[in-house]
Structure 1
């Protein structure tokens, strides 16, 4: 998730709705989908990216005109980019060529394209240049609200019958407006009566490619292709926080998800779904195995902070935007944020579970 231009010192008294607005900050313009020829030259126009030109083909991303112009330069037999003035009755969309009709073929096309742009030295170096390249493949699904089942990227069968459509480089996802998926977990202590909640809060490394130095959720990360949702939280817990696998498998509980439509400072679209987990440190046991510690260099330190302190730092804008969303969800589930103490309660609750305006894609 690319950071915005706002720095942590810009705002000191954000409301919870302000925090939601920082993350869920994109809405489609009123003229989205217009067939007016003049709209096709607008730099802000978003063109559906589908698997094929078939009218029932799912739309899996949204492309700006600048991306479409780059795709026009690709070899014949790779992309279908119709003339927008050819048939005003049909829905205009960009798609793979009909011969690119399986997950493996699409993955190969996207891999070559993104690596070519990475190595060009000129195209989107601030997004997918060598310093931004993640070397991590993300899954793209036909239906973002459908089954997200891990597939085997090394399997011999190249079936196009499931929800998984193809894989692509993580850092390039924002260029193509595809929905990405991650996992976030809150590790916390509380007294036996449910009071005195303390949360383990990491400070992101200053060398991170995105949001350096901001505060984060206890454990968080993307879901790489070929890995299930829960296995991703197990992996991230060890890599980022040194939490052993058996601890996570025993105590981590899925408590829902948040979804939001984020637009970066550079105008890139990053619709995201975050699967949310809680890990309550049980009372009466040795707390040492539950204490997160930096391991892979992505976190500078972990601090066990009282809930009031966490909320104060949220309001100061010190948390990464989507991490604040997850913490707001925690506050609602625990009864700290209610319709009686926040006039924006309903707006906040509904915005935590957005659908990205998907029916407009």
Structure 2
């Protein structure tokens, strides 16, 4: 009887989580222009942002298709494009159109495996709706016996420019230009949670989740590389870089309550759900062999 009640509670939480995700994941394609470079789509540019760029006399050229624009027309070199985007990024920041300057470059590219056509300050990526990449990791407590599975999660610092104070996966980080998913994850493991590289390299890779949604600052178009790490029962994460305000070890009921309340970021919620479903922990409707 207790198990039935627990499954019903999990199913109810799953429905609330789905509703929260749907409310936070709307995307209006009609309000966007496909941002192109050399015939390849690198972003979803909000039409309002295209108007801002045109008003600044910047970087957009017409395409045959009225739903697309060319980024940096007439510039055919990585260094030249990157220099133009660096100047544009500073103009946008000075005009108050972007915030949270990161001093970190993201690739402008149609795919992770494709050569980057330019690199740009990370703060500008969502204004332009660029395709970006991230690595996220579920921190799972191995052999947990306290009434069921447990995960470590982290709370983002209030000083973060994106999703301040929200719950996140134990480790989550954007992928800078020139990095790769595992390299990014191993670095973030040490910085965010004090997980040494030797332990971090024992992660299990579980594919990619794509996020495409409208945001006040533009568009989040992100491919999230998903990892699980089984952590020793006695391990306690410790933040090293000031970007995490709290770590918390949570059992399944508390974790589902956090997610269903909308207190966890969209991408972290998707990554967590992926782990719960794969492991048969979410509820009767999502159990898998």
TM-score by length of 2: 0.84
Change in CA separation of 1:309 and 1:67 when aligned onto 2, cut-off 3 Å: closer
Task: State the Cα deviation string for residues 304-340 of structure 1 (Å, max 9, x = none).
Answer: 11122111211122212221111111111111236x4
**Structure 2 equivalent of residue 68 of structure 1:** 50
Compute the TM-score of the two structures, normalised by the length of structure 1.
Answer: 0.69
Deviates more, 1:231-240 or 1:199-208: 199-208
1:184 offset after TM fit, Å? 0.5
Contact 1:114 1:172 in 2 (8 A): yes
The alignment status of 1:317 with 2:262, answered yes or no, reads yes
Q: Which residue of 1 aligns with 2:82?
A: 107
Q: Deviations over 1:114-147 (max 9, x none)?
A: 01222x3x341xx33xxx11111111222x3xxx
Aligned residue runs from structure 1 range 99-248, under 5 A: 99-118=74-93, 120=94, 122-124=95-97, 127-128=98-99, 132-142=100-110, 144=111, 148-149=112-113, 162-191=114-143, 196-248=148-200
Residue 37 (structure 2) pairs with residue 17 (structure 1) = no
Distance 1:269 1:208 in 2: 18
Q: Higher strand share goes to which structure?
A: 2
1:199-348 equivalences in 2 (<5 Å): 199-249=151-201, 251-264=202-215, 266=216, 268-282=218-232, 287-288=234-235, 291-337=236-282, 340-341=284-285
Residue 67 and residue 19 in structure 1: after superposition, are their counterparts in 2 closer, same or farther (change >3 A)?
A: closer
SS class of match (2:167): coil
Deviation of residue 198 (structure 1)?
1.0
Say if 1:163 and 1:22 are closer, same or farther in 2 by CA, change over 3 A: farther
Q: Which has the larger radius of gyration?
A: 1
Moved over 6 A (4+): 192-195
Deviation, structure 1 residue 186: 0.9
Match of 1:255, SS? Answer: strand
Contact 1:19 1:325 in 2 (8 A): no
Query: More helix per residue: 1 or 2?
Result: 2
Aligned residues: 274
Superposed CA offset, 1:288-317 (max 9, x none): 4xx311111111121211122111211122
Counterpart check, 1:94 vs 2:69: yes
Name the SS of the counterpart of 2:208 in structure 1. Answer: strand
The structure-2 alpha-carbon separation of the partners of 1:101 and 1:207, relative to structure 1 and needing over 3 Å to count, comes to: same
Name the counterpart of 2:10: none
Unaligned runs of 5+ in 2: 1-12
Q: Shift of the alpha carbon at 1:282?
A: 5.0
CA distance in 1, matches of 2:192, 2:146: 27
Q: 1:13 to 1:184 in 2, by over 3 A?
A: closer
Cα distance change on mapping 1:108 and 1:281 into 2, 3 Å: same
